[in-house]
């Protein structure tokens, strides 16, 4: 099982960025997926989650209205479209596999290595 994130970059406040996560080694379309971030020196913060078929999306209040999670089950990929980026969005962004099909996953049983987003002028 492998999750590989990409798309992280240094970007100016107010700009947009799209992160991707490519999954392999499991039946991607059977499981919900999550994005979790970690600001430098800080703890883990859940960002967004999506159900197995994309019908249910949920977001942390801190990103609601700015970020959009999506998935392409045909391509085994997960995305996070981040708009109106702020300095406090600076973090390592992890994609994580949920243990069930619904967004409210009991646990996240596999994590990618993370991709770094730095929002700075």
Sites of contact with other proteins (CB under 8 A): 34, 36, 43-46, 49, 58-60, 94, 96, 99, 104-114
In whole angstroms, the minimum distance from the beta carbon of 113 to other proteins comes to: 6
In whole angstroms, the minimum distance from the beta carbon of 87 to other proteins comes to: 21
CB closer to other proteins out of 11 and 112: 112
CB closer to other proteins out of 106 and 121: 106
In whole angstroms, the minimum distance from the beta carbon of 12 to other proteins comes to: 27
| DSSP output for 42-81 | --EEEEEEE-TTSS-EEE-TTTTTTEEEEEETTTTEEEEE
Q: Is 104 exposed, middle or buried (0-12, 13-18, 19+ CB in 10 A)?
A: exposed
């Amino acid at each position: 099982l492998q999750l590989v994130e990409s798309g992280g970059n240094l970007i100016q406040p107010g700009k947009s960025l799209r992160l991707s996560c490519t999954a392999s080694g499991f039946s991607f379309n059977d499981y919900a997926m999550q994005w979790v971030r970690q600001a430098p020196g800080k703890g883990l913060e859940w960002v967004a989650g999506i159900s197995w078929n994309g019908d249910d999306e949920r977001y942390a209040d801190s990103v609601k209205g700015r970020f959009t999670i999506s998935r392409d089950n045909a391509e085994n990929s997960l995305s996070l479209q981040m708009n109106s980026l702020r300095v406090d969005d600076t973090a390592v962004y992890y994609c994580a596999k949920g243990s069930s099909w619904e967004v409210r996953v009991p646990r996240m049983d596999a994590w990618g290595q993370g991709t770094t987003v730095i929002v700075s002028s």
